[in-house]
Amino acid sequence: MIKLIDILENKILVPRRSKEERSKNYLIATQKKIQQYMKDGGKGDLDLSSTPITTLPQGLTVGRTLYLNNTPITSLPQGLTVGDDLYLSNTPITTLPQGLTVGGSLDLRNTPITTLPQGLTVGGSLNLRNTLITSLPQGLTVGGDLYLLNTPISEKYSKEQIKQMVPSVKGNIYI
């Protein structure tokens, strides 16, 4: 009979896969999930939050919401279209691609992002809380609220000045 102390002292139970191998397999499974989503026509939500994904494939269209929060994603592909919301909070992303289309809200809270692309259109709210954004681009359109709390912009400009810079914000501006 094997006793618990024998197991602990002699390390009888040994993991079958190393941490590195498990991480690699998780990344492969995540990439397969994306490929299957695209093969199925890109309908519905694509939840990749807290996965090890660092990039997305070219030509990706997400029918509803794309969850990328708490991932190590560093860039998005050119021409990415998201039908509803795009969550990028708590990621290391620093820039967004030209031509990004977000039908709903865009959440960039707690990221090191410094700039937004010219002509960015966000159908819902744009959340830039706790970012390093220093300016807003020409042609920015926001269909909902604009959150700028704890950003260099909110420390430099008043709500009225920001409203003059981006008159196409349809909701409230929070600084």
CATH number at residue 39: 3.80.10
pLDDT of 121 above 80: yes
Residue 8's pLDDT is what? 60
- Tell if the pTM clears 0.75, that is, is over it: yes
Q: How many domains does the chain have?
A: 1
* Assigned domain for 91 exists: yes
In the DSSP assignment, the letter for residue 169 is B
* Assigned domain for 78 exists: yes
For tokens 């002699």, the residue is 10
pLDDT in tens, 141-173: 999 999 999 999 999 999 999 999 999 999 999
Phi, psi of 77 (to 5 degrees): -75, 150
Q: How confident is the model at residue 1 (pLDDT cuts 50, 70, 90)?
A: low
Sign, CA dihedral 37-42-47-53, equals: positive
Share of the chain above pLDDT 70, in %: 91
